């Protein structure tokens, strides 16, 4: 036997596809090991048989007859001929048949080489994938919010009916295109692109990304975008689900609510200022022992009025900037208790924090009371400095009211150190309302420091929701 024949035989036996060789009469001359294993037959049952008679005539298939008797005689080869059939030994299978004529020198008929590959699982996987896709598309189309499914390269695989309807485009106009290319490029936002590029590789979802723009046929709209990585079990391919929520009406309601809140706050502030003015007028004609009480009442009401003034000017509506609030309280206290020529100055040092308006009233009254006490008791000579400061310390907020006055040494301190001894003192009431505590400070020869620790009723600057309820 020639070396070339030995090599050819080795190749045939190592090929994973089932191979059989037929003569011009369609008699099986030989087959490889893969054929015998796939169709559970033996060389004795196979070689020398007409292919149609093989294994209880399981190969007597109309499609195969057409291939062998009508196609092959007129063509040198056939690629990818698919046959689906119920085989008695292995059940219903899908076979991919490739056929080629083999002619040796001087021969006119030669042989036919059939390569048979079982592609049943692949075809079933395709069908299952198609069924899954159809189910997915049905689910997508029933969701009311517009959404698109994206490939890893950010091109659109499919868009829901809601998306197509709302934005007035067709599936053909979206498929294979990037979201940033749609319509008039309203979605072409650098910050959004940056976030979308991290969804799949880093599994970082997009939460509530807002885009406000003018859309063709829709006018000015506000959309809330959310994105998630999605994958099918057993499939290593990942895609992105991008959902567009139209929040235009909700945003308008929120803006209307802020506008209404600002208007009401402005009116409340005006009414409180009228009351402050009436108290100031009455204090001019009242007996001297009562003036101090009138002034204290005036500063307390003034502190509340300043809160409503800040709310009426705020575009956020939900929170109040602490620094601005302290500045306004300082102005009110100075106007009510200090003359223009007074040597007592009030300074403010505050981190960029914001406070829930519901807690801002007792907070402002607390600051007002501490500043008022310092003005009354720390500076008998009428000169000095008071500092109102707020900072975040761990998971608490520290309010400090510091003065450089005469201090509390050898005197009864104006502010008791223990909450239970404060009785009906206003400071104790406001600290208790805020859920805080007074932190004892060392008694200095001069000056006084009052520290109040409060729970995280403040939120970082930026209009976020309050951290504590």
Per-residue pLDDT averaged across 48-52, rounded? 87
The count of other CB atoms within 10 Å of the CB of residue 258 is 16
Q: Which domains does the chain have, with CATH numbers?
A: 3-118 (3.30.450.20), 126-246 (3.30.450.20), 251-460 (3.30.565.10)
Residues 19, 245: Cα–Cα separation, whole Å: 58
pLDDT confidence band for 417 (50 / 70 / 90): very low
Per-residue pLDDT averaged across 231-259, rounded? 82
Residues 174-229 have pLDDT tens digits of 989 998 888 888 888 888 888 888 888 888 899 999 999 888 888 899 999 999 88
Report the pLDDT value the prediction gives residue 382, as an integer from 0 to 100.
86
SS3 at position 465: coil
Of 174, 169, 182, which Cα lies nearest the Cα of 157? 174
Of 161, 164, 231, which Cα lies nearest the Cα of 200? 231
Instruction: Tell which wins on pLDDT, 107 or 228.
Output: 228
State the chain's maximal CA–CA distance in angstroms.
Answer: 138
Lowest mean pLDDT among 21-25, 158-162, 294-298: 294-298
6: pLDDT strictly greater than 50: no
467: pLDDT strictly greater than 60: no
Q: How far from chain centre, in Å, is Cα 92?
A: 48
Cα torsion angle, 421, 424, 428, 432, sign: positive
Mean predicted lDDT score pLDDT of the chain: 80
% residues pLDDT > 90 (the chain): 9
Are β-strands 383-393 and 343-350 bridged in parallel, bridged antiparallel, or unpaired? parallel
| Under 8 Å between Cβ of 310 and 304 | no
336: pLDDT strictly greater than 60: yes
Residues 209, 195: Cα–Cα separation, whole Å: 9
The count of other CB atoms within 10 Å of the CB of residue 362 is 17
pLDDT confidence band for 320 (50 / 70 / 90): confident
Instruction: Give Rg (Cα) of the chain.
Output: 43
Lowest mean pLDDT among 152-161, 182-191, 261-270, 409-418: 409-418
Residues 129-180 have pLDDT tens digits of 777 767 776 777 777 888 888 888 889 988 888 898 888 889 889 989 998 8
């Amino acid at each position: 036997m020639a070396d070339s024949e030995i090599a050819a035989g080795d190749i045939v036996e190592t090929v994973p596809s089932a191979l059989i060789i037929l003569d011009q009469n369609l008699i099986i001359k030989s087959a490889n090991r893969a054929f015998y294993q796939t169709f559970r037959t033996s060389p004795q049952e196979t070689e020398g048989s007409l292919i149609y008679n093989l294994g209880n005539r399981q190969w007597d298939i109309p499609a195969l007859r057409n291939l062998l008797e009508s196609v092959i005689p007129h063509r040198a080869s056939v690629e990818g001929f698919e046959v689906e059939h119920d085989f008695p030994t292995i059940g219903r299978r899908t076979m991919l048949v490739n056929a080629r004529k083999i002619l040796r020198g001087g021969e006119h008929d030669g042989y036919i080489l059939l390569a048979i590959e079982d592609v049943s699982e692949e075809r079933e996987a395709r069908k299952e994938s198609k069924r899954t896709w159809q189910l997915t598309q049905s689910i997508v189309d029933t969701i009311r919010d517009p959404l698109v499914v994206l490939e890893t390269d950010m091109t659109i695989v499919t868009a829901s009916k809601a998306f197509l309807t709302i934005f007035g485009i067709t599936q053909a106009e979206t498929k294979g295109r990037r979201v940033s290319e749609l319509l008039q490029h309203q979605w072409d936002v650098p910050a959004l692109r940056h976030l979308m590029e991290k969804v799949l590789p880093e599994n970082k979802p997009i939460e509530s990304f807002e885009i406000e723009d003018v859309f063709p046929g829709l006018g000015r709209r506000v959309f809330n975008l959310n994105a998630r990585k999605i994958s099918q079990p057993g499939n290593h391919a990942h895609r992105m689900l991008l959902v567009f929520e139209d929040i235009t009406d909700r945003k308008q309601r929120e803006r209307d609510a802020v506008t209404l809140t600002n208007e009401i706050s402005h009116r409340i502030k005006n009414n409180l200022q009228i009351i402050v003015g009436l108290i100031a007028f009455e204090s001019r004609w009242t007996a001297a022992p009562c003036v101090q009480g009138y002034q204290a009442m005036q500063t307390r009401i003034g502190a509340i009025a300043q809160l409503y003034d800040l709310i009426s000017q705020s575009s956020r509506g939900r929170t109040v900037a602490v620094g601005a609030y302290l500045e306004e309280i300082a102005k009110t206290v100075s106007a009510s208790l200090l003359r223009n020529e007074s040597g007592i100055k009030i300074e403010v040092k505050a981190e960029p924090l914001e406070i829930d308006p519901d807690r801002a009233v007792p907070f402002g009254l607390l600051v007002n009371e501490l500043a008022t006490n310092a003005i009354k008791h720390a500076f008998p000579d009428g000169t000095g400095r008071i500092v109102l400061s707020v900072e975040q310390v761990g998971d608490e907020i520290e309010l400090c009211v510091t003065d450089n006055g005469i201090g509390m040494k050898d005197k009864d301190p104006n502010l008791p150190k223990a909450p239970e001894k404060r009785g009906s003192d206003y400071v104790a009431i406001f600290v208790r309302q805020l859920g805080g505590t007074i932190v004892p400070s060392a008694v200095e020869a001069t000056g006084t420091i009052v520290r109040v620790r409060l729970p995280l009723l403040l939120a970082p600057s930026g209009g976020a929701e309050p951290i504590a309820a």
